Amino acid sequence: MKGMLLLPTQADEIDKKLERNENVGPLAGVLVGVKDNICAKDMACTAGSKILENYRPAYDASVVRKLRECGAIIVGKTNLDEFGMGSTTEGSAYQVTANPWDLECVPGGSSGGSAAAVSARQCVVSLGSDTGGSVRQPASFCGVVGLKPTYGRVSRYGLVAYASSLDVIGCFGTTVVDAGILLQAISGHDKLDATSSKRDVNDFTSQFISKDYFESQPLKGLRVGVISETIGDGVDKEVVSSIRGAISHLEELGSTVTEVIILSLCILN
């Protein structure tokens, strides 16, 4: 499948801490893949390009530092389209990553390696970056959860930039809960990123484990727009079925769902 580019060993350090009865953090032993445009100390950071083939940063990106502090194991760097400029992960200068569900198909991109690695259970969760869909699209292709956080919620310090006003470091997991736990770990203000938000970080994980929370219709009063063209003529029936299922779930949670029209899509149709 070729989702990983580098596989270090870090579990021994956690074992030694446990032997010394030291705090190992809430993510102790959790295997995390990191997209290879996010810096991790003394690990290659190529951004999928031969230009950076020998670059090994002397520092951790803020998100990587936070994960290490939580006890996570950075199991490897994941493949991507060169400098994040692609949507199939065929554009890497090193290898082509396949979709775990069908090795003849692409995993999407540019964070295709991160999505494929989680889908194939090479790691529990992974980090990607999203400029125009590079987390969300490969997550869809590989059948995993992909989350693009609100801009400024997660520090971009240590990310090889593509378009700084749009770049966001995002999360992959096999479930919404896993993605939420990862988001909780990496969120928060960072003085090393001038665009980092100072707003308080919500306790995302408490919302996942409370049955009462979902039964209380937490989205009551919220209006959600659904693009008409995504459920109209010419769209695959399975896609329409999935979207309508999501609409029903949002309505069960109390939201009001309204169809909206995007004129540019009308022209394409």
Distance of CA 127 to the CA centre of its chain: 5
165 is catalytic: no
Q: Catalytic: which of 119, 134, 187, 255?
A: 134
User: How far is it, in rounded angstroms, from Cα 59 to Cα 43?
Assistant: 10
Angle, alpha carbons 61-208-251 (nearest 5°): 115
Catalytic residue among 110, 129, 187, 255: 110
- The distance in angstroms from the start CA to the end CA of the chain is 36
Catalytic residue list contains 187 = no
How far is Cα 250 from Cα 245, in angstroms, rounded to an integer?
Answer: 9
Q: Contact at 8 Å (CB) between 168 and 156? A: yes
Closest alpha carbon to 179 in 146, 228, 227? 146
Say which of 35, 66, 77, 148 is annotated catalytic.
35
Active site residue 134: yes
* The total number of residues written for the chain in this structure: 269
The catalytic residue positions are 35, 110, 134
